[in-house]
Structures are given as C-alpha cells and as structure tokens.
Structure 1
C-alpha cells in the first residue's frame, strides 16, 4: 500500500464535493442512454486514505511495491486469525494465542477401583496447558453403575495428560468408560 505519488498529485487532501445520492458502479448502457460511472478524485482519495489509515493503525509504514500491507495490518490489529481443526478430537487457536483442544477417550476395564489412560493432545501447546476437564459418559461397573469421578493423574503437559477415573469405593471398573475432555492453554 502506498499513497499516490505520480505527476499531477495534490500536495494535500482536497476538500471533497458535497455528498450525493449513494449508488453503485455501472459500466453504463449505450442502448438505454445510461452513462458509465465516473470515478472521480474524491472517491479514489477516500479509498486510499481509508486503506492508509488501516496500515498506520497497525504501526506499519506504507511501502510502495509491498502489496500485502492491508492483510498484515488486519492481522496485527486483530491479533491474527482463528485457525482450527474441527472434529471429534480437535483444536482452535484464538487471536490472543490461547488454544482450546477437545477430544474423547476411553478408560479401560481395569478390574480395580481406578482406571487410567494416557491422552495425547491433537497438537502440542507451545507454552503450557492450564487446565483439563472431562466427563465420563457411563458407569464404571455394569452391575452397580458406579459413576466414576474424573480427573487427571499429575499435571497436564504441553503434549497430553493421563485421565483418571475413580469409583471412590470398592466397586471395580468391569467395563470401559468413554469420556470427553477439554483442555485450555497457550
């Protein structure tokens, strides 16, 4: 993006003509006598100054021949864009650098009152995983139904966590327990 610098330019922004009726561009139609839209200096100056203001607001210097400065300015102003991989096991990167991840897993039928399984995140967190939450989706025992408490064994790492289910009693995991989880980090 660059401010016009060809011959015949005005040294300062001319006062624009009074606003007329808003409309849309047309190529005209000779058969009906409709003239083509005349693109005047007011319109070109307005568009140029609006675009230069976006570049300036992002702290960038308009550079002739650099044709991606509006995109760079928008990404700077909104902190980048949201990227994601949506699915049963997925992630979303937010403009502030935060990452949300989610997925499913299955606690095995361990035959004990606790059951653990290692989960690998869909993508690693660059700095840290702050929290992991989860929800078991059925009871640990097919007879008693004992709904297990859910947590993690130790702190999550940047690449994953160990899910832990506990019946908090002598009831054992005699069936697998599917669960969903959600992790937040940066």
Structure 2
C-alpha cells in the first residue's frame, strides 16, 4: 500500500494528503475508493492477527501486530551444525554431528549426546547415520532417548584411531 500518487485530482502535497492552507493550496480530495481501500487493508491485517475490528478501538493494528510478533518469536531456531527448529505445531526438530576416534575393532563405543535444547515433553524419535566410513564395516545406533539427549553407540571393523563423522536427527515436543 502506498499513497495514490497516480490518481489525478487528489491535491496531494509532497506526496501526502493535506488539510490544505486557505488561499495557498487546496485540501486533498480523497475519493471513497481510496478511503475504502485503506480501511479494507487495515481491517484485513487486524483480522489476520486474530482480532475483530472495532470502530472505537484505535490500537487494534498495533496490538495485533505485537501479538503476532510475540507468537512468531516462540518458533526459535539455531541454524548451526548442532541445532534445532521449533515449529508452530509444537514439534521440535533437532540435529547434530559428532567426530569420534574409532575404538579397537568390534568394540562398542557409547557416546552421550546432549540435545541443543531439551524437549519440553518427550523425545519422539532419534536416528543416526555415518557420514564417512573408512572401516571395512561400521554400525551406529541411537539408544535410550530422553528429553535431554540419547546414547549414540558405534562399532567399527577398522583399526582404532580412524576419525568417523556421525550425524543424528531427533524429533520431539
């Protein structure tokens, strides 16, 4: 929405509506189509913010936008290698990566993983995968998920000391 600069005969002054100055410049003439378009646009924003437009309440647009901004701020995120995204439904998606040095062949290596943020209610699912496998065989599993984290268990058939990249993904609410 902008001022109706292309409509002739409105008598805008410096691109804006004016009350005019007697004997100097006329007051702006605002056609009903322009006035209705402005009110309709403002009402649409107020309704989209979840409010019912009311003629006597002059703070509805501001209040609606403030409430909407507050709601959107609840859907925070951390966009990093170990991060999370909160969704409007309440679902939270979290992910991460870890580098480990492989143990001796066929030795289980449990590693505690802490989520970037705790799930408020429950961890629903956790998955893990290997990013690189210099081993002749390797396996990774995710065990014992809680609202704060889980245990990533790794076993490899390679000689100890190789560096492995493991990635994990979790959902919860």
**TM-score tier (shorter):** 0.5 to 0.7
Distance 1:134 1:115 in 2: 14
Q: Deviations over 1:103-149 (max 9, x none)?
A: 1113443325122111111111111111111111333xx6xx23312
Distance 1:80 1:61 in 2: 24
Relative to the length of structure 2, the TM-score reads 0.66
2:121 aligned counterpart, secondary structure: coil
1:150–1:51 Cα change, 3 Å: same
Aligned residues: 148
Q: 2:3 aligns with which of 8, 25, 44?
A: 25
| 8 Å Cα contact 2:98-2:166 kept in structure 1 | yes
Offset of residue 68 of structure 1: 2.0
Distance 1:97 1:109 in 2: 37
Relative to the length of structure 1, the TM-score reads 0.62
Superposition CA RMSD, Å: 3.4
Q: 2:148 aligns with which of 159, 162, 170?
A: 159
Structure-2 residue corresponding to 1:98: 91
Offset of residue 158 of structure 1: 0.6
Distance 1:59 1:42 in 2: 19
Structure-2 residue corresponding to 1:87: 80
Distance 1:135 1:120 in 2: 17
2:109 aligned counterpart, secondary structure: strand
- Consecutive aligned runs of 4 or more in structure 1 exceeding 6 Å deviation: none
Structure-2 residue corresponding to 1:72: 67
Structure 2, gaps ≥5 residues long: 18-28
| 8 Å Cα contact 1:54-1:74 kept in structure 2 | no
Offset of residue 166 of structure 1: 2.9
1:135 aligned counterpart, secondary structure: strand
